[in-house]
A and B are shown apart, each in its own frame.
Chain A
Amino acid sequence: MEILDNLLLGLSVAVTPINLLFLIVGAFVGMIVGIIPGFGPTAGIAVLLSLTFSMDPITAVIMLAGIYYGSMYGGTITSILINTPGESATVASTFDGFPLAKRGRIGPALVMQAAASFIGGTIGVLLISGFAPAFANFAKSFGPPEFFLIITIGLLALIVVMGDNKVNGAISALLGLAVSLVGVDVITGAQRFTYGHPELINGIYFLPVAIGLFGLGELFYSIYKGTHKEERKQAVSFKDKETFWPNKREWSESKGTFARGSVLGFFVGMLPGAGATVASLLSYSLEKKVSKFSDKFGKGYMPGLVAPESANNAASAGAMIPLLTLGIPGSGATAVLLGAFLMWGLQPGPLMMENEPEFAWGLISSMYLGNVILILVNIFAIPLFIKIMQVPYKLMIPVILILCTIGTYSLHGSIVETWIMLAFGLIGLFMKLYNFSPAALVLALVLGPMAEDTLRQTLITSGGSLGIFVQRPISLILVLVIVFIVVLPAIKFLKDGRKKDSSKDISL
């Protein structure tokens, strides 16, 4: 009952005409920010932060939360439309999202991504309102050993997303790890492969790489193959049930995925630093493992889009847990929000929910409202996005090229990163031609440095002993999960190995 009281208090604070107006503004701005490749929630919130200083803190945070949520919805749209993830959390959404669009199921794909985002976000907020303080203790028990193991599970999951050619997939992932070595070594401060260029001191950022590999790579590939000259599929409209709304089969296939993706995403999102990328990746590979039709994944199968989408939105809700209950920012975007709390004179920390219930619960209730507004905005905006797909691809090419270039340049105003994007565009073309996996490269680039830092932090604290991984309870559970993931297929392989020579299991 206390939860209901709290929520009612929150709603009474959040539901004023002014707040609703700013929530809608925030959600809309967030969606647009999410659509621009390279311009994610962190930058969106940071840029608009200065506008909010003169506002009432509750109104301001409701608007910023709207941007945060909106960009999570919008970020997937380019993944589906032009195969270009706007942030690392939506890389996994390209796996089935883009093939769906190519098959002409663009309307249903966009509806389902909105539905998955809505369900993921809503389940996330329900879990926050019900159990936030209990989860705080869970988030608190994560140190470097646990992070390392979670990221290792993420890296193992790469095997699932690599596609059929496991050897090429492994090479792609290793390429990603190699690129990730550039920059300052966080433990010793030594510079690696920077060749004296200050632009490389902070390493090669994954977004120019992702935009190049996916956005430009796809574009070069279609020019190379000549597919850009083909006519587009028929138009779709609201009234056209068949091509706009997902059909019954697509709904029923995705039922379990919604729930599993949301819960998994929420828990992974709660861990500071692991976040939405690992969540979307784990959710995708979990679905592929439990599905009876695992060979359909990657070819435009609806649950393959629903899994990462429900997970990354639930993760962005999960990331609010350490922020609200511990005052610890779990992601770049929540770190900027934390800075905003301070500027408004709020004191984030374990006592914030007690000391500032109106603020905390106002924020939580605004998340419910934000999700409702966003699913409506999304569904009404779909015909607009679908129209983009009707434009002949040869006319879209210059536009995509401009968007990718501007998006990359606007990240840090760096011309070096723009060149990096262009170079990876060419690499992306060859990876596609020779059946390598751009997704494995990008995800290894994101996860590799996290794995390296956390492993080395762990070993420094344990004085070099690996025993630390089995001495801490949560860490021990994670070790067992990894053993299970690695050993089970290995046993299966040894059993069936004689019968058929399957290249699939070798890389495990």
Chain B
Amino acid sequence: MKKIIFFLLVIGIIATGCSSDETSGETSHASEYPSTENTLDWTIAFGPGGGNDVMAREMIKILEKYDLYEGDIVPENREGGSGAVGWGHVHQNIGDPYQISTTSGSFITTPLQSDPGWDYSDFTHVALMATDDMFFMVSGDSGYETIDEFVDEAKNKTMNIGGIGVANVDRMIVETFGKEAGIDYEYVSFNAEGQLQSALMSGSLDAIVANPSGVIGQIESGEMNALAFSGLEPLADYPDIPTFIEEGYEVNISMPRGVILAGDVDEEVRQWWIDTMKEVAETDEWEEYIQKNYLSENILYGEDFTEYLEETSSTFNNILSDLGVLEE
């Protein structure tokens, strides 16, 4: 009998072990930063398996492999409220040099949409490491070969264009493109990639915006066609898929993938991380990560990253206000 209770307790301990909430210890002076006595608390503001999670874990792997960070690093998934919970946690520990996190599009859009108590300017900006850009996809049997053909057809009928979420990068790409091309469209928002893609294949939608890594297989089999890419440069592996800008539509909206620390940390700490991320960016592993996940390499450090965030935030604010999806 005792054994059974013991067994259940063991199961319980296994369960807690997977989400142990270790604090990073007290704040110490940056003179000996990073001190191995403090654990680096790496907040991942989304669930396991997503783009943000994969990037954070890849960075931690590189930091550990090359001994770039000597202390312990504990990655922690603090999901909820489209990043409100996770980045809120980092924000609460203002001034603590052992609080770090990775950004996504929601880092900018969530504070625009709701009031989580912080916005991008409340953090210490280390580096933008890459941007995530999207393909504009139609189904293979739709007959559209170029984005211009799609725009021509859109003059005759209202196009249904799908994406993930309401007030995020997908939506803004569709909106900016719709305005540039002067077409009538309905944006249909989905929660999950699987349903979005099958809606396109079933003929319910005329087009979708999708992350390249999720649709490469469909492009190669001819099941879907990519008409345009939202980055500044075409993807290295897919030079034939033109950017919106090459096709004459000013659409360049990307998801910033960068590294931030809690607000108000010492300048030396920020400089330490800038130097460290420069080393990360030069590793073969990072190169491979960028390529495998079809990200656009776009590196900006310190002040440049801050400026980028300012610009992006004001662009996003303008587009989303025009759409009326912000509650003011």
Q: Which residues of A contact B (CB under 8 A)?
A: 32, 35-36, 39, 42-43, 45-47, 49-50, 139-147, 184-191, 194, 196, 198-202, 272-273, 322, 326-330, 335-336, 338-339, 342-343, 345, 347-352, 384, 387-388, 390-391, 395, 399, 402-403, 406-407, 409-410, 412-414, 453, 457-458, 460-461, 463, 472
Contacts and interface: CB of A to CB of B under 8 A. Distances in A.
A198 B48 contact: no
A413 B17 CA distance: 11
27 contacts: A46-B53, A140-B202, A143-B198, A143-B204, A143-B205, A145-B204, A184-B166, A186-B191, A196-B114, A198-B85, A201-B80, A272-B195, A326-B201, A330-B194, A339-B54, A345-B292, A347-B217, A347-B220, A349-B219, A352-B217, A387-B1, A387-B4, A391-B1, A395-B1, A402-B9, A410-B19, A458-B204
B197 A141 contact: no
Contacts of B5: 391, 395, 399
Question: A-B pairs with the 8 shortest C-beta distances?
Answer: A349-B217, A143-B204, A46-B48, A189-B166, A198-B84, A143-B202, A272-B194, A198-B81
Contacts of A457: 188-190, 199, 204
Contacts of A335: 49, 192-194
B76 interface: yes
A199 B199 contact: no
A409 B12 CA distance: 11
A328 B218 CA distance: 9
Nearest to B158: A463
Interface string B1-34: 1001101110110111011010000000000000
Contacts of A142: 198, 202
Contacts of B11: 32, 35-36, 403
Contacts of B156: none
B28 to A, nearest CB: 25
Nearest to B13: A406
A351 B220 contact: yes
A391 B4 contact: yes
Contacts of B77: 412-413
A461 B205 contact: yes
A406 B12 contact: yes
A401 to B, nearest CB: 11
A461 B16 contact: no
A338 B188 CA distance: 24
B192 A342 contact: no
A199 B85 CA distance: 7
A50 B57 contact: yes
A413 B86 CA distance: 11
A349 B166 CA distance: 27
B223 interface: yes
B203 to A, nearest CB: 7
Given A188-B166, A335-B193, A347-B216, A460 B188 contact: yes
Interface residues of B, number: 72
A196 B158 CA distance: 36
Point out which of A46, A196, A327, A351 has the most chain B C-beta atoms below 10 A from its C-beta: A327
Given A352-B217, A388-B4, A460-B160, A412 B188 contact: no
B262 to A, nearest CB: 17
B302 interface: no
Contact of B12 (A272, A384, A402, A463): A402
B65 to A, nearest CB: 12
Contact of B325 (A188, A338, A348, A414): A188
Nearest to B220: A351
A371 to B, nearest CB: 24
Nearest to A331: B194
A202 B166 contact: no
B189 to A, nearest CB: 6
Nearest to A450: B191
A141 B48 contact: no
Nearest to A334: B194
Interface of B: 1, 4-5, 7-9, 11-12, 14-16, 18-19, 21, 47-50, 53-54, 57, 76-82, 84-85, 88, 113-117, 158, 160, 165-167, 186, 188-195, 197-199, 201-205, 213-221, 223, 292-293, 325, 327
A42 B18 CA distance: 13
A139 B223 CA distance: 14
B197 A399 contact: no
Contact of B114 (A198, A328, A347, A412): A198
A350 B218 contact: yes
Nearest to B324: A188
Contacts of A322: 194, 198
Nearest to B7: A384
Contacts of A329: 192-194
Given A190-B327, A198-B81, A326 B54 contact: no
Given A199-B85, A201-B114, A399-B9, 20 more contacts: A142-B202, A144-B195, A147-B195, A185-B166, A198-B114, A326-B201, A326-B218, A328-B193, A336-B48, A391-B4, A399-B8, A403-B8, A410-B16, A412-B77, A413-B19, A413-B77, A457-B199, A458-B204, A461-B186, A472-B202
B137 to A, nearest CB: 13
Contacts of B14: 32, 36
A201 B195 CA distance: 22
Contact of A327 (B4, B165, B166, B218): B218
A45 to B, nearest CB: 8
A285 to B, nearest CB: 24
A194 B188 CA distance: 23
Contact of A349 (B78, B220, B292): B220
Contact of A453 (B19, B80, B116, B191): B191
A347 B218 CA distance: 10
A472 B204 CA distance: 10
B116 A43 contact: no
Contacts of B115: 196
Contact of A461 (B48, B160, B215, B218): B160
A140 B216 contact: no
B195 A189 contact: no
B167 to A, nearest CB: 5
Given A50-B57, A329-B194, A410-B18, A198 B201 contact: no
Contact of B49 (A46, A146, A412, A463): A46
Nearest to B325: A189
B202 A349 contact: no
Contacts of B19: 409-410, 413
Given A198-B114, A345-B292, A186 B188 contact: no
B198 A198 contact: no
Given A49-B49, A201-B114, A272-B198, A187 B166 contact: yes
A242 B181 CA distance: 74
B169 to A, nearest CB: 13
Contact of A342 (B50, B57, B166, B292): B292
